[in-house]
């Protein structure tokens, strides 16, 4: 190909490169078909220490466990235990990597962290972290509702009561997966396993 043809193709290639979606980066998680959520650092989230009974329903199957969440400036920590006190999993996100035990969890630790961030983070902080996704926030009679859309299709609906996080009821629905998560707070001072 001659030099002139190359010079004519360069602007065209630059135009196509601008239309291509950016590849996923290590701190971004694929959500939906082409959406990505790039995680915030734990310091950008509200500090919290909370315990909830978590009920997960999917395709007629239900799992219940005790979820303990702690967020500080250094890490987001989530531990799941059975209602009898047996350790099921732990997840730690330090702003760079997500470590989970056991390593091959069926609950997809990166998606748990994404859903927690979508639930907890200031919507303005999330705005630049969502790619090919739209977050709509409004209030209902029960509290705040956050809906995540990809090209007009509902990906997730998160409803959180108006109470402080440690006392908030949280419901998460992911219609395409027929998945719902209900989180009921356990007040501090209540006996736990």
Measured CA distances, 37 to 15, 135, 170, 175, 179 (Å): 25, 11, 20, 18, 19
Q: Domain containing 69: what range?
A: 24-185
User: So what's the pLDDT on residue 142?
Assistant: 85
Establish if 170 belongs to a structural domain.
Answer: yes
Establish if 40 belongs to a structural domain.
Answer: yes
pTM for the whole thing? 0.79
Establish if 90 belongs to a structural domain.
Answer: yes
Q: Characterise 151 by phi-psi region: left (phi > 0), alpha (psi -120 to 50), beta (else).
A: left
Q: Are strands 76-81 and 87-93 parallel, antiparallel or unpaired?
A: antiparallel
Count of structural domains within the chain: 1
Contact 77, 91 (CB under 8 A): yes
Helix (H) or strand (E) holding 93: strand 87-93
Tokens of 20: 């291509």
Establish if 85 belongs to a structural domain.
Answer: yes
Tell me, what CATH number does 180's domain have?
Answer: 2.50.20
Establish if 5 belongs to a structural domain.
Answer: no
Establish if 13 belongs to a structural domain.
Answer: no
User: So what's the pLDDT on residue 55?
Assistant: 95
Dist CA 10 CA 152 (whole Å) = 34
In the sheet with 130-131, reading across from the earlier edge strand, the strands are 28-31, 35-38, 130-131
Tokens of 109: 């630790």
Establish if 148 belongs to a structural domain.
Answer: yes
pLDDT along the chain (193 residues), means of 10: 33 29 61 93 94 92 93 95 92 93 77 92 94 95 94 95 89 91 82 49
User: So what's the pLDDT on residue 166?
Assistant: 87
Establish if 50 belongs to a structural domain.
Answer: yes
């Amino acid at each position: 190909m001659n030099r002139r043809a190359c010079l004519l193709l360069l602007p065209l290639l630059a135009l196509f490169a601008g239309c291509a979606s950016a590849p996923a980066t290590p701190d971004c998680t694929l959500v939906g078909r082409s959406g990505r959520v790039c995680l915030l650092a734990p310091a950008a989230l509200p500090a919290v220490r909370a315990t909830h009974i978590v009920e997960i329903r999917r395709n007629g199957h239900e799992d219940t466990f005790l979820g303990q969440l702690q967020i500080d400036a250094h890490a987001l920590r989530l531990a799941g235990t059975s209602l009898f006190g047996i350790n099921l999993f732990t997840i730690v996100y330090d702003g760079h990597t997500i470590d989970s035990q056991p390593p091959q969890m069926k609950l997809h630790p990166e998606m748990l962290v994404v859903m927690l961030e979508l639930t907890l983070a200031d919507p303005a902080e999330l705005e630049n972290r969502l790619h090919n996704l739209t977050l709509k926030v409004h209030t209902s009679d029960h509290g705040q509702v956050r809906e995540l859309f990809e090209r007009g299709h509902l990906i997730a609906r998160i409803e959180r009561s108006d109470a402080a996080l440690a006392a908030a009821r949280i419901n998460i629905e992911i219609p395409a997966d027929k998945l719902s998560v209900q989180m009921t707070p356990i007040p501090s001072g209540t006996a736990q396993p």
